[in-house]
Copies of this chain bind each other. A is one copy, B any other.
Amino acid sequence: MNKKGVMVVLSGFSGSGKGTLMKALLERYPNYALSISCTTREPRPGEVNGREYYFVAQEEFLRMIRENQLMEHACYCGQYYGTPRPYVERQLAEGKDVLLEIDIQGALQIKEKYPDTVLVFVMPPSAEELKNRLCGRGTETEEVIAARLHRAVEEAQDMDRYDYLLVNDDLDQCVALLHGVIQSQHFRTSSQKSTIEEMRKELKSFT
């Protein structure tokens, strides 16, 4: 087994339960680290700097882009969002598997730069269930729910660009599956280049 951690991007429709899933994964297994994104948007009530996001000024964000300190970044509604590189790289080097909760644009940017990243898409058991979950929150207007469903239709177009697709029906089962999928990555040949080189050298010394 290699020592370096695996980078995992988790995406999913609003209402897929990916936040809960990630929280459960971090609580139940010791070897994960969570990447916190930075953003130029204002914190919402209840959000804490360094927990939901690092809230930074636009000038600071543009400096991070220039200095290549972001693994990916994107702009929505005039606000920037990005993944700070140093934390992720430090955790990976320490052997932690690092979780990134980002959307498809960021996911594909990451995959292009770091092809060993695992892209996991989380899905509710059905579209009906997704609609129920979005309505069941009771906190959103009909317009917001319609907009999220519309967004889900768009996101569904790119689902097959992910590596794995997990149906989040039963939380416990889904957490165990996600953990299994991530752990199996450590045994990919692409993660074990030095083990292969060592074996080749050793074998040759016998012949």
Contacts and interface: CB of A to CB of B under 8 A. Distances in A.
Nearest to A195: B165
Contacts of A199: 123, 126-127, 156, 159
A150 interface: yes
Please tell me how many copies of the chain the complex holds. Answer: 2
Contacts of A121: 189
A193 interface: yes
A167 to B, nearest CB: 8
A77 to B, nearest CB: 21
Given A149-B206, A160-B196, A165-B189, 4 more contacts: A159-B200, A160-B193, A165-B187, A180-B180
Interface residues of A, number: 45
Contacts of A128: 202
A132 to B, nearest CB: 11
A149 B207 contact: yes
B189 A164 contact: yes
A192 B130 CA distance: 19
Interface string A177-197: 100110110011110110110
A205 interface: yes
A199 B149 CA distance: 12
A31 to B, nearest CB: 15
